[in-house]
Amino acid sequence: MYILLSAYEVLSAPSRDPQLDQHWELWMNRYNKTYHQTEEGWRRMVWEKNLKKIELHNLEHSMGKHSYRQGMNHFADMTKEEFRQIMQGYKPKAELKVGTLFKKPSFLNVPESLDWRTEGYVTPVKNQARCASCWAFSATGCLEGQLFRATRRLVSLSEQNLMDCSRYLGNKGCDGGWAKMAYQYVHENGGLDSEESYPYQAKDNLQCFYNASYNAIIVDGYASIPSGSEKDLMEAVATMGPISVAIDASHDSFQFYQSGVYYEENCSSEQLNHGVLLVGYSYSDQDYWIVKNSWSENWGNNGYIHMAKDRNNNCGIATDASFPVIL
């Protein structure tokens, strides 16, 4: 559901450019967009404003000012304020008692690059839709990786199960939550259903429908990575597999990311708002983390983003990292 545009946003939106009519129609058709007659005019103006910002950014990229490109995706008709409200749902709470601290194994040799997708640890990119349930997708992605590590079986796990059933721990479904509380729920509940048996609905249900007959995983708790240390984070990824992380994704540069290595100088390392999954790391002309998002394959690089690595914990990628423990 869209929120109302502020008076400032309405007045500051650019006038409708008739030369963009065909472009607008193609974009709406590609992303299956439909609007009420009274809304389409405002959406068109927001879309044009975003288009101009993206074109300017990419021009600056071609001049060497930025390390990444932006693109007109399915969020192009949304203001930054709408985007933050609807798509970002990381909401941390106090630490839970079952958590331990990650300790790297002795004599660990960390590879220069690593991508757990090539080893079978990662399910296809999912879509949280218009629901701030990123925390649940971050958690299931990490649970799926740990299950594969333990059993060599890749099973897509249920975000809706987490959303409907972990509220007593403080998670709030489409209004946000925390991966660590998701792990706490799986630990206390004695399991989590598969995606197939408990499919995602992108909405909050008032009832928990967990069925132990379809339980796909059991965990013994979770472990946290020392906060702020990209070195420890790299060692954890290399040792354990995909890791759940939280980042600052509040900038329109992230909203419209398309390719390249994302570095945002205005990113906060403390004000985190979005849960994602770290699946590896690599380097080109600069080091980067390989991050799986939950905004469908229409966003970013087929649903992924390369985020700057070893640049003072940019966007807080190493601030709150964790994984479930399976014994």
Q: Looking at residue 211, which CATH number applies to its domain?
A: 3.90.70.10
58 & 129 share domain: no
Contact criterion met (CB below 8 Å) for 204 and 173: yes
Do 248 and 203 lie in one domain? The reply is yes
pLDDT mean over 234-253: 96
Q: Are 108 and 60 members of one domain?
A: no
Active site residue ranges: 134, 274, 293
- Domains in the chain, number: 2
In a domain, 270, yes or no: yes
Q: What DSSP letter does each residue of 51-63 carry, written as one string?
A: HHHHHHHHHHHHT
- Are 66 and 199 found together in one domain? no
pLDDT attached to residue 8: 45
Task: Specify if 84 maps to a domain.
Answer: yes
Nearest to 306 by CA among 156, 109, 298, 315: 315
Residue 7 lies in a domain: no
Query: Cβ neighbours of residue 306 under 8 Å, at least 6 residues apart?
Result: 68, 260, 261, 262, 282, 288, 289, 290, 291
Residue 169: inside a domain: yes
Residue 115 pLDDT exceeds 90 = yes
Q: Residue 58 sits in which domain range?
A: 18-70
Give pLDDT tens digits for 278-303. Answer: 999 998 788 999 999 999 999 999 99
User: Is the same domain home to 58 and 172?
Assistant: no
Average pLDDT over residues 169-195: 96
Instruction: Examine the pLDDT at 94 and tell me if it is beyond 80.
Output: no
Q: Give the CA angle between residues 95, 280, 285 to the nearest 5°.
A: 125
Residues 259 and 319 in one domain: yes
Q: Is residue 75 part of a domain?
A: no
Q: Does 312 map to a domain?
A: yes
Kindly report, residue by residue over 132-164, the tens digit of the pLDDT.
Answer: 999 999 999 999 999 999 999 999 999 999 999
Please indicate, yes or no, whether residues 253 and 320 belong to a single structural domain of this protein: yes
Q: In whole angstroms, give the CA distance from residue 79 to residue 204.
A: 24
Q: Name the domain boundary from 70, 105, 130.
A: 70
**Which sign, positive or negative, has the C-alpha torsion 223, 227, 232, 235?**
positive
Q: What is the DSSP-derived secondary structure letter of residue 169? A: G
Boundary of a domain, candidates 6, 36, 70 = 70
Residue 3 placed within a domain: no
pLDDT at 17: 86
Whether 5 is in a domain gets the answer: no
Let me know whether 322 and 183 are in one domain.
yes
Look at residue 303 in the predicted model and tell me its pLDDT: 98
pLDDT band at 265 (very low <50, low <70, confident <90, very high): very high
**94 lies in the same domain as 35:** no
32 and 90 both lie in a single domain? no
Same domain, 179 and 313: yes
What are the φ/ψ torsions at residue 323 (nearest 5 degrees)?
-155, 155
CB distance 317 to 230 below 8 Å: yes
**Which pLDDT does position 96 carry in this prediction?**
58
**Which pLDDT does position 251 carry in this prediction?**
94
Residues 219 and 293 in one domain: yes
